Amino acid sequence: MKVYIDGKYYEKEEACISVFDHGLLYGDGVFEGIRIYNDKVFKLGEHLVRLYQSAKAILLNIPMTIEQMQKKVEEVVRVNKKRDGYIRLVVTRGRGDLGLDPDKCAKASVIIIVADIALYPSEYYTKGIAIITSSSRRLPVDGLDPRIKSLNYLNNIMAKIEAKQAGCLEAVMLNKEGYVAECTGDNIFIIKAGELYTPTTYQGALDGITRATVLDLAATLAVPCHTRTLSRYDLYNADECFLTGSGAEVIPVTAIDGRKMGDGKPGSVTRKLLAAFRQFIVAD
């Protein structure tokens, strides 16, 4: 594996950043997780737009243009000879000192890692997974806009720990008002009476690339789509549920907090959307 850091390639074991990097010290930076399918980087343009918008929102100057970044990501994929895999693109504030002042960081650092990823065993895509609701709340929108995909994921990690302790792989995170935001690393969808619902971004959901793709696919399949406020009551009484994300793709959920979805198996709309997504990534 060749890891790209600030213009140079390093072997995995030798890829290092400074202990004074503010990405390490304070979680000061942004990132994207991107998939590779059949030698093609999936939705790279959309991911880069989100990366640069996240960086602009936190006054982080990325030391290359978006066009240069696109070429560099594609180059790193070629160097690593990955036909299928996962890209972690990270931009940190860079090396500074032990104070918070970002002006002490002379230049942002760009890190591109190309590797494999498998968040869920393959059988879960046919059997579905059980999830819980976490007691860790999503960071409030008035504190940090969820559209900023920052390096600080501690509240998500705490929710993930809670899920693992409950014997689950994922957890639903509520916002401070008690409405559904998203899961620790995925967006969440439910189906009720044949119609698709997902939380709005102003309730704390990330504006996910896979989320947007699934909404587009649902529209082409004539599945009515709605972004709206959802409560745990809505989740518990849904006919079907699934999660989306670059790593997770489309994963069915069959139970939430012990409440069974439908007959406890992935539903027909979920299966249809999963099949459509897999066909889309091959054709794209």
State how far Cα 82 lies from the chain centre: 21
For the question of residue 149 being annotated catalytic, the response is yes
Contact by Cβ (8 Å): 65, 14: no
HEC string of the chain equals CEEEECCEEEEHHHCCCCCCEHHHHHCCEEEEEEEEECCEECCHHHHHHHHHHHHHHCCCCCCCCHHHHHHHHHHHHHHHCCCCEEEEEEEECCECCCCCCHHHCCCCEEEEEEECCCCCCCCHHHHCEEEEECCCCCCCCCCCCCCCCECCCHHHHHHHHHHHHCCCCCEEEECCCCCEEEECCCEEEEEECCEEEECCHHHCCCCCHHHHHHHHHHHHCCCCEEECCCCHHHHHCCCEEEEEECCCEEEEEEEECCEECCCCCCCHHHHHHHHHHHHHHHHC
The one catalytic residue among 56, 72, 82, 149: 149
Active-site annotation, residues: 149
